[in-house]
């Protein structure tokens, strides 16, 4: 056993409690950054970047002068990029005003000053010199991208060290998160915003987003439709629609939750394979096909990406099929955008070349060389090589160079085979290649296609099936294990997992008797009875467009409101499904329009009405037609109402006497709509409020939205 006079940590103490004879260092010794653990982590992060770099070099996609900056940027994280929604809230321009103020503040010396460390009572803690505390951290403030109109897209360099050290930057990121939750800001990679911009979507267009999840581009398309409507056209009556589709139902439900924040009735979310969408040929004016890909362009966002060029071969077969069906659904004269987040020509130019070969003169690549000149890009390439799916490092220039016994593994559509040396509308150099080092973005590919005539017969036939490039015993064993896990999960039946699925699919499931399709509310006797009760209770005008009310359960408690174009599109889907052969997949609609009424418990119902008004969107639609339970309030009263979600009956008279007087005419256990017209911008805001049995008021707006609306109303139009 060591005594008090023995050596402790390399310092000899003469007696208990005595300070060390050698003073401790002023700063703790820095952890060695070259430890095996750090080296292993770095190697894992750079492995995908090295593989992608070598592949790009082998293909000759970049010049020698581009290779060094290209490799350097692959190891750097992406900047934070976000889009300001044109449907940003009750005060147009308020959010851009806030961002401008944040930009000015973050450029100040105060914002770039790190926080001082908290004092410690430990006598052994070394004291830091003042200069170590007050040294500012250089910060690049957020700024709008110069190639977007109206300062809609902003970005800033996200330095983790700066976020960790600067309280001002932490507050700014909290502000972005709050606005994102409210649906006013959309986090999205800069290059992925280009396909919707190239499509030039306008009000009146019927638009399809074929592979839509997670929904960033869908919201952008919806914003373009609403923002280009006429001055006299209300948001709830805008012509045009967006059909957002995803093959995975779980992702489609998350997509529905995202588009719901925009409060626009001109959207339908479906879950189908892109090849089986139940719409007639030429139904859409614009189609966005952001096809699934191997994702090498996302390596900056996912540095641990496991990537192989061989995966592009089976993916190209699926991409070709999706692109051809996108063109089938496009109207003559309409546009289709084909894009991937891949730099692999097998998934990019090879797919476009095969589509052009099959479609002939009915499809052309649009010449966009003078569009968005501020966007730095490279043209598409006319020739490329394909790497062997089984022998890495072995490349073939054409399908004829592949050994005949192995050609079934390497479909001919992956090769240029002399088909790409075309001029005019079939010139692959009209495509866009966006490399990460050009403007500090991810990797991306875009081809804008115009349909000039109906597709020739047989253009969609005999598309090669994706070869199994991972047919090893290990892969087959893994596939078998996954199938067993899925079967075991299905046998568990109802339980906690099922409850979680219902929560996730709130937009897809109203009740236990839910169907995969929407039907008109007035189609059934039960629906007509429900609407008669609701319209009588709220004294809804007869001019209300009841044909645009949809339900998907027999109880008819949860009622959706859709635009006229969405209502017609759903009818078209039903006719298309009815006319298909037996065994064809039926329509599966996850969400349509906005929620107008939601069911409530019997104890919360009044006058036989078992529903309540749902959210801001439902209140905005009904306020135009309802005569009862519609109350006009002042802006200050609405601000006071938003400061807390729940107000006791006894407190209303003191805080909001005018509201208390008006709310007294509303029956208990019912909802009403408070309408504020003097928001400072000429745009009214409608807020649903529930009056309980005892007279207490509850604001039926999510807290994230309530905070944003309250702050915007406090500023009004004065600061915008």
Q: Which residues contact 202 (CB under 8 A, 6 or more apart)?
A: 224, 225, 228, 240
User: Do 476 and 355 touch, CB atoms closer than 8 A?
Assistant: no
Which neighbouring-strand residues pair with 208?
243, 287
Tokens of 593: 């329009």
Catalytic residue among 253, 293, 341, 672, which?
A: 341
Based on the residue annotation, tell me whether 289 is a catalytic residue of this protein: no
User: Do 311 and 387 touch, CB atoms closer than 8 A?
Assistant: no
Q: Which element (helix H / strand E) includes 515?
A: none
Q: Is 619 annotated as a binding residue?
A: no
Q: Which residues contact 572 (CB under 8 A, 6 or more apart)?
A: 279, 280, 283
Q: Is 442 annotated as a binding residue?
A: no
Which neighbouring-strand residues pair with 519?
551
Q: Which residue has the tokens 């770099």?
A: 53
Which neighbouring-strand residues pair with 365?
449
- Cα(526)–Cα(541) distance, rounded to whole angstroms? 21
Q: Is 360 annotated as a binding residue?
A: no
Q: Which residue has the tokens 């010139």?
A: 427
User: Do 380 and 416 touch, CB atoms closer than 8 A?
Assistant: no
Q: Is 520 annotated as a binding residue?
A: no
User: Do 235 and 87 touch, CB atoms closer than 8 A?
Assistant: yes
Indicate the SS3 state at residue 199.
helix
**Cis before residue 40, ω within 30 degrees of 0?**
no
Would you state the torsion angle of the CA atoms of residues 403, 340, 251, 78, taken in this order, to the nearest 10 degrees? Answer: 120
Q: Is 217 annotated as a binding residue?
A: yes
- Cα(526)–Cα(515) distance, rounded to whole angstroms? 16
Q: Is 211 annotated as a binding residue?
A: yes
Strand-by-strand arrangement of the 685-691 sheet: 630-632, 670-676, 685-691, 697-699, 646-647
DSSP collapsed to 3 states, 263-278: CCCCEEEECCCHHHCC
- Cα(717)–Cα(667) distance, rounded to whole angstroms? 34
DSSP 433: E
Which neighbouring-strand residues pair with 187?
82
Phi then psi dihedrals of residue 704, to 5 deg: -60, -40
DSSP letter for each residue of 91-105: STTHHHHHHHHHHHH
- Cα(281)–Cα(367) distance, rounded to whole angstroms? 25
- Cα(595)–Cα(84) distance, rounded to whole angstroms? 24
Which neighbouring-strand residues pair with 670?
691
Q: Is 316 annotated as a binding residue?
A: no
Which ranges of 261-348 does DSSP label H, i.e. alpha helix? Answer: 312-329
Q: Is 48 annotated as a binding residue?
A: no
Q: Is 213 annotated as a binding residue?
A: yes
- Cα(550)–Cα(517) distance, rounded to whole angstroms? 10
Which ranges of 120-240 does DSSP label H, i.e. alpha helix? Answer: 130-134, 160-165, 167-181, 194-199, 216-227
Q: Which residues contact 253 (CB under 8 A, 6 or more apart)?
A: 504, 505, 506, 507, 508, 590, 591
Determine the Cα angle at 281 with ends 276 and 284, to 5°.
95
User: Do 416 and 351 touch, CB atoms closer than 8 A?
Assistant: no
The binding site consists of 211-217, 246, 290
Question: Catalytic residue numbers?
Answer: 341
The binding site for S-adenosyl-L-methionine consists of 211-217, 246, 290
């Amino acid at each position: 056993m060591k005594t008090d006079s023995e050596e402790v940590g390399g310092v000899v103490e003469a007696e208990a409690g005595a300070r060390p004879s050698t003073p401790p260092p002023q700063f703790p010794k820095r952890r060695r950054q070259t430890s095996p653990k750090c080296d292993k982590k770095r190697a894992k992060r750079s492995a995908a970047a090295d593989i992608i770099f070598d592949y790009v070099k082998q293909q000759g996609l970049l010049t020698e002068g581009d290779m060094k900056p290209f490799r350097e940027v692959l190891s750097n994280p992406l900047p934070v990029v976000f889009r300001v929604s044109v449907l940003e809230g009750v005060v147009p321009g308020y959010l851009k005003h806030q961002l401008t103020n944040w930009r000015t503040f973050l450029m100040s010396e105060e914002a770039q000053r790190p926080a001082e460390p908290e004092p410690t009572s430990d006598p052994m803690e070394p004291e830091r010199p003042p200069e170590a505390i007050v040294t500012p951290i250089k910060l690049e403030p957020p700024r709008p991208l110069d190639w977007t109109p109206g300062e809609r897209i902003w970005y800033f360099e996200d330095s983790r060290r700066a976020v960790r050290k600067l309280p001002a930057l932490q507050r700014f990121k909290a502000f972005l998160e709050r606005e994102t939750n409210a649906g006013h800001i959309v986090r999205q990679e800069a290059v992925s915003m280009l396909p919707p911009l190239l499509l030039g979507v306008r009000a009146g267009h019927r638009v399809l987003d074929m592979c839509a999840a997670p929904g960033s581009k869908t919201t952008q398309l919806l914003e373009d439709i609403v923002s280009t409507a006429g001055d006299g056209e209300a948001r709830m009556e805008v012509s045009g629609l967006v059909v957002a589709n995803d093959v995975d139902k779980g992702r489609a439900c998350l997509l529905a939750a995202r588009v719901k924040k925009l409060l626009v009735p001109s959207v339908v979310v479906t879950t189908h394979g892109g090849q089986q969408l139940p719409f007639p040929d030429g139904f859409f004016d614009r189609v966005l096909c952001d096809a699934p890909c191997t994702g090498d362009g996302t390596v900056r966002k996912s540095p641990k990406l496991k990537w192989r060029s061989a995966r592009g071969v089976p993916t190209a077969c699926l991409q070709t099929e999706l692109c051809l069906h996108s063109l089938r659904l496009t109207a003559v004269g309409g546009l289709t955008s084909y894009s991937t987040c891949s730099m692999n020509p097998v998934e990019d130019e090879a797919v476009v070349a095969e589509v052009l070969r099959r479609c002939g003169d009915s499809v052309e690549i649009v010449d966009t060389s003078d569009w968005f000149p501020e966007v730095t890009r490279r043209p598409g390439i006319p020739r490329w090589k394909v790497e062997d799916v089984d022998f890495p490092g072995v490349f073939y220039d054409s399908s004829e160079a592949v050994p005949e016994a192995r050609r079934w593994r390497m479909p001919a559509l992956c090769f240029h085979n002399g088909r790409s040396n075309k001029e005019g509308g079939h010139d692959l150099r009209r495509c866009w290649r966006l490399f990460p080092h050009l403007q500090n973005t991810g990797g991306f590919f875009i081809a804008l296609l115009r349909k000039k005539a109906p597709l020739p017969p047989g253009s969609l036939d005999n598309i090669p099936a994706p070869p199994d490039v991972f047919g090893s015993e290990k892969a087959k064993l893994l596939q078998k294990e996954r199938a067993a896990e899925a079967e075991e999960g299905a046998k568990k039946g109802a339980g906690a997992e099922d409850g979680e699925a219902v929560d996730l699919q709130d937009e897809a499931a109203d009740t236990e008797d839910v169907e995969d399709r929407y039907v008109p509310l007035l189609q059934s006797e039960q629906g007509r009875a429900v609407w008669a009760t609701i319209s009588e209770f709220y004294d809804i005008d007869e001019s209300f467009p009841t044909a645009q009310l949809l339900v998907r359960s027999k109880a008819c408690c949860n009622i959706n409101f859709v635009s006229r174009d969405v209502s017609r599109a759903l009818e078209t889907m039903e006719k298309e499904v009815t006319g298909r052969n037996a065994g064809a997949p039926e329509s599966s609609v996850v969400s349509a329009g906005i929620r107008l009424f939601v069911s409530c418990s019997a104890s919360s119902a009044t006058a036989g009405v078992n529903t309540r008004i749902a959210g801001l969107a439902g209140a905005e639609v009904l306020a135009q037609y309802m005569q009862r339970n519609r109350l006009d309030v002042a802006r200050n009263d609405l601000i006071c109402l938003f400061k807390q979600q729940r107000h006791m009956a006894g407190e209303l008279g003191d805080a909001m006497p005018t509201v208390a007087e008006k709310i007294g005419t509303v029956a208990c256990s019912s909802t009403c709509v408070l309408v504020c017209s003097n928001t400072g911008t000429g745009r009214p805001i409608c807020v649903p409020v529930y009056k309980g049995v005892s007279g207490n008021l509850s604001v039926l707006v999510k807290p994230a939205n309530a905070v944003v609306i309250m702050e915007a109303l406090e500023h009004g139009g004065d600061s915008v």
